[in-house]
Amino acid sequence: MCYNQERMASQQLQPGMGTQLDQIAGLVERVTFHSDESGFCVLRIKARGHRDLVTVVGTLPEVRAGEWLEAQGRWIVNKEYGQQFQAEILCTMPPTTVEGIEKYLASGMIKGIGPVLAGRIVKAYKERTFEIIDASPHSLTYVEGIGPTRKKKISEAWAEQKAIREIMVFLHGHKVSTSRAFRIFKTYGNEAIEKVREDPYRLARDIQGIGFKTADVIAESLGIGKQSELRAQAGVEYVLLQLTEEGHCGYGREELVAMAVKLLEIPDEIIQTAVEYLLQENRIVSRTLDSDAGGHPAVFLAGLDLAERNLAESLIARQVGKHPCPQIDMEKAIAWVEGKTGLQLAVQQRHAVQLACQSKVLVITGGPGVGKTTIINSIVKIMRAKKLKVLMAAPTGRAAKRMAEATGCEAKTIHRLLVFDPKTFQFKHNAAHPLEGDVFIIDETSMLDISLAWQLVRAIPHRSTVILVGDVDQLPSVGPGCVLRDIIDSGKVPVCRLTEVFRQAARSTIVTNAHRINQGAMPIFPREKVESPDRTDFYFVPVEDPEKAVDMVCRMVCEHLPQKFGFDRVDDIQVLSPMQRGVLGCRNLNTVLQTALNPSGPAIERYGWTFRAGDKVMQMVNDYDKDVFNGDIGRVTKIDEVEQEVVVRFDDRPVKYDFNELDELHLSYATTVHKSQGSEYPVVVLPIHTQHYMMLQRNLLYTAITRSRKLVVLVGTLKALAIAVKNMDARRRVTLLKQRLQAAVGLADLSL
């Protein structure tokens, strides 16, 4: 396989060199570095005519020790690493020597073959090894250590590698990276090349990690013109999908068209034609947003539009009818539950419990320390005393676990409650196959996006009661929609807003400051420093310089907090940051913290991350096959070079990841505030600096602080803190749920 290389402008040619390319060939002795994402590699080769190993740099989709390499390029002198061969053209071929074949097999190319087995196989079959694996794999069973099971695994891996290599050659010819080529193969199988040729833009729709821009590059290389209808249609959908990542369910048509014109660099009329085509195909839907001018034309993705409409109609319709709880004497019921829990309910809490026994749909909202958990526990006890089946769920595993601990009853994630079927990519429980229960209590509902909210509600029997619990002042869902706020603002669903902070909670500076921030007031800080012997639960550490702030965050995690308070450096302390990029962003903080907390040991580099045994990692997407979900945190327990697997323990359950699946994981010594929703940590360390200016918002700061149970440490500047406290101008999401709820009132009788 031969590949043209881009020249590295930052490096200098040796004096006297002309335009004629030099040539070099030899055996790849060691792969010093290889990026799956970019293909950039640094190789050490045993080259003909050179006594010492030669360093070759260039780009290859994949390369293994033992392969024969031919390169054309120039000798350069790198300021840091010395003399290198900068390849402009690279060709790799399977090795033909016994030594090369053994190195090749031992490199991890094929699952099931490590260095020991590689030596045995090559000893048995020498130069015919590849021929045997390809044409007579049954012969492998004559080698010690290879039985039928391992033989099958080797054969399958070899066949897969051949198919991948063919597809990779095609895709690399069209500017696709190795990691993405593998994902394309996993999705489409042997039909990959055909499907890509037919419609390269389908990659952006079907495959995670491949966006419109990548598909656009492939399309151009396949000869699809910039002004093609296919490109315009895909571009419009891409812009809408990008907007959903900002939380919007739809967008103004004029604004959408303008964004598509800018992105695609094609005339307005072509985009307008694409919009009309997508409307005719029902891939998008035309709607009107309310405005003083009498309405603003907008377009919504068809699926999100349907979810909004159905959710609104269902919530209104299910309020009609008999409550599953029989009529009871609320005074006696509340006195009974107070006796059971040993807690006296406040006036607001009593009201919430009473509404829960009378309303088919109810929202309970309030900040930290207002007793939401006590209310849930009281409702559960009363309902179960009346022989009603109560089911509890939350968007995240940690939130579900807290519900279970507080009530002593089972609670599940919403995904596990609905039972996702990976074969059909649908939930097993829906309107046709509803859940069985009388009362459904859903916690952390501020995290519910519109799609999940509708999937949940449609699976709940119409006769049942739905109780939505959450803090409306937290950040909205990561996905599109603003479900909890829209339901509350509609005025069409009973709402119990809790405002009284209880005495025990009020003693917490964390709770006090959370409410102060929510009211637009600066938090209060104790006079003691973290290093002082006195203790509090809320600290501010002033650091002006961003680089010094990184160092301070690291010292807090690694030294001060463990030494003073006895917290575990990895399990107890969570660094949160408003954003991914920048010196104080999660990516850099993770690199720094990994170096400090887990600097050595078995490691694998994939997708821009280095993972080591012992690392703290977070699942970034829902993976229903593995039963792990977006935001789940685990620890890497094993890296298996032979099987090309990483094992991560989530709670007490080990989960295996193929090396090519590691884009599902990120290091999580630091994570974003958005990703922390629904989770609680003993300690939160939050860098807050003007470097994060665009993300300095009150609800983000409030959410970050309320993630902590025991201790909060802010590191940064008072100026940034003041900006965040004052800034309520978080961008309003484009949704229609509120209006749909208000408009659906008259539909209640019809929907029964």
Render pLDDT for 216-232 as a digit per residue (tens, 0 to 9).
888 888 888 889 999 99
Phi, psi of 515 (to 5 degrees): -70, -35
- Looking at residue 504, its pLDDT comes to 66
Ranges of H-type helices in 556-632: 561-565, 586-597
Taking residues 154-179, report their average pLDDT: 71
Rounded Cα distance between 206 and 559, Å, is 46
Q: Is 301:287 a contact under the CB 8 Å cutoff?
A: no
| pLDDT over 90 at 379, yes or no | yes
Q: Is 735:453 a contact under the CB 8 Å cutoff?
A: no
What distance lies between CA 311 and its chain's CA centroid?
25
In the structure, what pLDDT confidence band is assigned to residue 191 with cuts at 50, 70 and 90? confident
Least trusted range by pLDDT, from 304-313, 513-522, 653-662: 653-662
**Interior CA angle at 545 toward 539 and 550, to 5°?**
65
594's tokens = 């990994």
Express each pLDDT in 533-580 by its tens digit.
556 789 999 999 999 999 999 999 999 999 989 999 999 999 999 888
Least trusted range by pLDDT, from 57-66, 283-292, 669-678: 57-66
Q: Is 35:41 a contact under the CB 8 Å cutoff?
A: yes
Average pLDDT, the chain: 85
| pLDDT over 50 at 752, yes or no | no
Ranges of H-type helices in 566-602: 586-597
Rounded Cα distance between 218 and 231, Å, is 11
Collapsed DSSP state (helix, strand, coil) of residue 90: strand
Q: Cβ neighbours of residue 88 under 8 Å, at least 6 residues apart?
A: 4, 5, 7, 21, 58, 72, 73, 74
Rounded Cα distance between 70 and 43, Å, is 12
| Residue 223: exposure state from Cβ atoms within 10 A (0-12, 13-18, ≥19) | exposed
Q: Cβ neighbours of residue 190 under 8 Å, at least 6 residues apart?
A: 163
Question: 493 vs 58, which has greater pLDDT?
Answer: 493
In the structure, what pLDDT confidence band is assigned to residue 13 with cuts at 50, 70 and 90? very low
Q: Is 454:310 a contact under the CB 8 Å cutoff?
A: yes
Question: Got the DSSP string for 511-556?
Answer: HHHHHHHHTT-PPP--SS-TTSSS--SEEEEE--SHHHHHHHHHHI
Taking residues 667-674, report their average pLDDT: 94
CA dihedral 250, 254, 255, 258 (to 10 degrees): 130
- Looking at residue 8, its pLDDT comes to 35
| pLDDT over 90 at 749, yes or no | no
Rounded Cα distance between 399 and 185, Å, is 36
CB atoms closer than 10 angstroms to residue 439: 25
> Among 422, 488, 429, 352, which Cα is nearest to 627's?
422
Q: Cβ neighbours of residue 519 under 8 Å, at least 6 residues apart?
A: none
Rounded Cα distance between 139 and 321, Å, is 72
β-pair partners for 396 = none
Rounded Cα distance between 257 and 277, Å, is 14
- Looking at residue 39, its pLDDT comes to 67
| Residue 290: exposure state from Cβ atoms within 10 A (0-12, 13-18, ≥19) | exposed
Rounded Cα distance between 744 and 53, Å, is 75
| Residue 55: exposure state from Cβ atoms within 10 A (0-12, 13-18, ≥19) | middle
Q: Which residue has the tokens 């990276």?
A: 177
- Looking at residue 503, its pLDDT comes to 61
Instruction: Give the amino acid at 463.
Output: R
What distance lies between CA 356 and its chain's CA centroid?
34
Helix H or strand E encompassing 738: helix 737-743
Q: Is 316:491 a contact under the CB 8 Å cutoff?
A: no
The 3-state secondary structure of 176-243, one letter per residue? CCHHHHHHHHHHHHHHHHHHHHHCCCHHHHHCCCCCHHHHHHHHHHCCCCCCCHHHHHHHHHHHHHHH
Instruction: Give the amino acid at 478.
Output: V
**Interior CA angle at 61 toward 58 and 67, to 5°?**
80
Taking residues 240-265, report their average pLDDT: 92
pTM of the model: 0.75
Express each pLDDT in 81-137 by its tens digit.
788 998 877 777 777 778 878 877 776 667 678 888 888 999 999 988 888 888 888
Q: Which residue has the tokens 């601990």?
A: 405
- Residues 642-667 as b or e (16 or more Cβ within 10 Å = b): bbbbbbbebeeeebebebbbbbbbbb
Q: Which residue has the tokens 């006079």?
A: 527
| pLDDT over 60 at 599, yes or no | yes
In the structure, what pLDDT confidence band is assigned to residue 360 with cuts at 50, 70 and 90? very high
What CA–CA distances, in Å, run from 614 to 420, 483, 672, 708? 30, 38, 21, 23
Taking residues 446-464, report their average pLDDT: 95
Q: Which residue has the tokens 């993770």?
A: 590
Q: Is 32:64 a contact under the CB 8 Å cutoff?
A: no
CB atoms closer than 10 angstroms to residue 586: 27
Rounded Cα distance between 37 and 727, Å, is 38
The region that residue 228 occupies, defined by phi over 0 for left and psi between -120 and 50 for alpha, beta otherwise, is beta
- Looking at residue 10, its pLDDT comes to 32
| pLDDT over 90 at 721, yes or no | yes
- Looking at residue 532, its pLDDT comes to 57
Ranges of H-type helices in 224-366: 229-245, 253-264, 268-280, 302-317, 330-341, 347-356
- Looking at residue 409, its pLDDT comes to 92
> Among 341, 340, 337, which Cα is nearest to 356's?
337
Q: Is 517:366 a contact under the CB 8 Å cutoff?
A: no
Q: Is 27:69 a contact under the CB 8 Å cutoff?
A: yes
